[in-house]
Structure 1
Amino acid sequence: MAQARRPNRLFKNLNAKIASIPMVLTAVVVFVGGTLWTVLYSFTDSKLLPRLRFVGLDQYERLWSSQRWIVSIENLAIYGFLSLILSFGIGFLLAALLDQKIRFENTFRTIFLYPFALSFIVTGLVWQWILNPDFGVQHVVRSLGWTSFTFDPLYNSAIVIYGILFAGLWQGTGLIMCLMLAGLRGIDEDIWKAARVDGIPMWKTYAFIIIPMMRPVFITTLVIVASGIVRLYDLVVAQTGGGPGNASEVPAKYVYEFMFKAQNLGQGFAASTMMLVTVAIFVVPWAYFEFGGKRNG
């Protein structure tokens, strides 16, 4: 009986499976093939052009002995940690407020989501102007009488990454708000009614009932946000260009500089491989919990 079912299951939706073959082949050749090619050449001494002259782990040793790379990792860690915490917190708070069926909800939702429609380059240039001490926030405050006020994060190497964080939060919080709002709207209304009848405070309802039920939304949002953090490049280039000095360097910019300006493909491939490992740290556990965990359950 089981043997008779297997052929039927294999040929089920056969047309759809045949139609997906080009997409699958493209994914395998372009993404998987490109990834393996990058990892392979990260063990070579490729310069202007790729060449198969292996040097073992020399590129990785040189990478982790570079102060510029260490600074880029530190910046990404600071930006990533604060971006996750603040964007999730602000996004969920906005979603919870909009979920109260307030007036002009569509207008507020559009306003909050609008920054995400802009490119990162545009966002970076806008915030470069806002944070410019000559005609931005500092200039406006000083013109109001507070002449000793100082606010120039993009020109201070100690806090420049926080200036970039402002732009990143403004750009991406709206998307998180929409994802969270979709999750909240998927909660059965009877749950809210039961909580109100039992006299459970709203904050406890969110903390112990609603948020645990939104686990899939949080995990999916985490993967989306984390992969975007690892690929951080446009905001840095538009706002600071990596400066002052190398104070706002990030891994993606490091890869670009070595592959296309320094003409050191081997070093760029090694750095991009480390970025791939970072993304895998987030994606692999998500895939296991979403697919493998369900199958085991």
Structure 2
Amino acid sequence: MASQASTVDLRTRLQEWIPKIVLSPSIAAMLVFVYGFIALTVYLSFSNSKMLPSYDLIGLTNYAKLFRLSAWWTAVTNLAIFASLYIIICTVIGLVLAILLDQRIRGEGVLRPIYLYPMALSFIVTGTAWKWILDPGIGIEHTMHLWGFVNFRFDWIKNRDMAIYTVVIAAVWQTSGFVMAMFLAGLRGIDNEILKAAQIDGASNFALYRRIVIPLLRPAFLSSFVILAHLAVKSYDLIIALTGGGPGRATELPATFMYSYTFTRNSMGIGAASAVIMLMTIAAIMVPYLYAELKEKK
């Protein structure tokens, strides 16, 4: 009996420790290559790093230099324009598509993957494809000229004042289907009895969505905002593939600014400072969201 009890005890301990042993390499790698490098970046932002890392601390000098650079404020302004339009348009299109698909229309099984397909592509592929589509020499403008519309102009990608909006177009095309999926999941989770009761009371479809459905989609709205804001702040590959940050600095964002100053302008300290600012921005978005989720669960 004692040997059987010890065998059971050993088996129980193995069942407890095997998941920890299996996960420990991944956890160690995450601690080193994610949080370790975050800590290193924060340290370098206070250092005198140029082309190579330096460990001589100089306080807040890099942050002072960063906030005096007009290129940084251009990147921040571009991010404000891009993020606001990107979030609003994706949310509106995603909600409208979700409401349409929620009507159990014929062909939903075909339409849903079509809307979701762009999200399966990398931002590099999306940026390259839209660069060709928007190029006046081979894209939409050239095609319209071949069709006889010789006065048609669509050269936004080469226009300093309009180039940032081409980034919005490409980003919305890729992400709105994903937002639609989140809203559709939220709509399918609403109790039909609530909606039937409101319809029996004489509520119109507009009032039904405005007073019941959309308020119940608050978690989906919050989740989509957090995800879209996070994607907007760290946008880099789409910009590089689509416009390269140009023309001039018309489409430069903090992510491209950080890469430029860190690896091509030999100002690693300033680049690290801009990366820390981006990290703080993402944290300011994520922390309240996580706090709200944890508080709701409790």
TM-score for the superposition, normalised by structure 1: 0.90
SS in 2 for 1:97: helix
What amino acid maps onto 1:221 in structure 2? S
Measure, in 2, the Cα distance between the counterparts of 1:194 and 1:25: 53
Give 1:88's match in structure 2, choosing from 87, 91, 96.
91
SS in 2 for 1:270: helix
Can you list the C-alpha shifts for 1:274-293, whole angstroms capped at 9, x where unaligned?
Answer: 10011011101101211135
1:289 and 1:162, CA in 2 relative to 1: closer, same or farther beyond 3 A? same
Measure, in 2, the Cα distance between the counterparts of 1:137 and 1:214: 37
Measure, in 2, the Cα distance between the counterparts of 1:27 and 1:292: 27
Displacement of 1:40 = 1.5
Kindly indicate whether residue 228 of structure 2 is the aligned counterpart of residue 225 of structure 1.
Answer: yes
Can you list the C-alpha shifts for 1:42-95, whole angstroms capped at 9, x where unaligned?
Answer: 011111221211111111111111111111111111000001100000001000
2:20 alignment partner in structure 1:
18
Give 1:204's match in structure 2, choosing from 197, 204, 207.
207
Matches within 5 A, 1:105-120: 105-120=108-123
What amino acid maps onto 1:147 in structure 2? V
Give 1:32's match in structure 2, choosing from 13, 35, 43.
35
1:184 alignment partner in structure 2:
187
After TM superposition, the structure 1 stretch with the greater mean CA deviation from structure 2, 18-27 or 60-69, is 18-27
Measure, in 1, the Cα distance between the counterparts of 2:217 and 2:266: 47
1:173 and 1:253, CA in 2 relative to 1: closer, same or farther beyond 3 A? same
Give 1:46's match in structure 2, choosing from 49, 74, 78.
49
1:16 and 1:101, CA in 2 relative to 1: closer, same or farther beyond 3 A? farther
Measure, in 2, the Cα distance between the counterparts of 1:212 and 1:32: 37
Give 1:280's match in structure 2, choosing from 260, 279, 283.
283
Structure 2: where are the runs of 5+ without partners? 1-12
Displacement of 1:15 = 5.0
What amino acid maps onto 1:185 in structure 2? R
After TM superposition, the structure 1 stretch with the greater mean CA deviation from structure 2, 253-262 or 173-182, is 253-262
Displacement of 1:294 = 4.8
What amino acid maps onto 1:18 in structure 2? K
Measure, in 2, the Cα distance between the counterparts of 1:169 and 1:110: 16
SS in 2 for 1:133: coil
What amino acid maps onto 1:124 in structure 2? G
Measure, in 2, the Cα distance between the counterparts of 1:154 and 1:208: 41
Measure, in 1, the Cα distance between the counterparts of 2:253 and 2:177: 24
Kindly indicate whether residue 260 of structure 2 is the aligned counterpart of residue 245 of structure 1.
Answer: no
Measure, in 2, the Cα distance between the counterparts of 1:193 and 1:27: 49
2:152 alignment partner in structure 1:
149
SS in 2 for 1:45: coil
After TM superposition, the structure 1 stretch with the greater mean CA deviation from structure 2, 214-223 or 26-35, is 26-35
After TM superposition, the structure 1 stretch with the greater mean CA deviation from structure 2, 255-264 or 87-96, is 255-264
- What is the aligned length? 284
Kindly indicate whether residue 162 of structure 2 is the aligned counterpart of residue 159 of structure 1.
Answer: yes
What amino acid maps onto 1:193 in structure 2? K
2:7 alignment partner in structure 1:
none
Displacement of 1:141 = 2.3
TM-score for the superposition, normalised by structure 2: 0.89
Displacement of 1:23 = 4.5
Measure, in 2, the Cα distance between the counterparts of 1:47 and 1:254: 15
1:196 and 1:16, CA in 2 relative to 1: closer, same or farther beyond 3 A? farther
After TM superposition, the structure 1 stretch with the greater mean CA deviation from structure 2, 235-244 or 86-95, is 235-244
Quote the RMSD (CA, aligned, Å).
1.9
1:191 and 1:292, CA in 2 relative to 1: closer, same or farther beyond 3 A? closer
Give 2:58's match in structure 1, choosing from 47, 55, 59.
55
Percent of aligned pairs with the same residue? 42
The structure with the larger Rg is 2
After TM superposition, the structure 1 stretch with the greater mean CA deviation from structure 2, 68-77 or 189-198, is 189-198
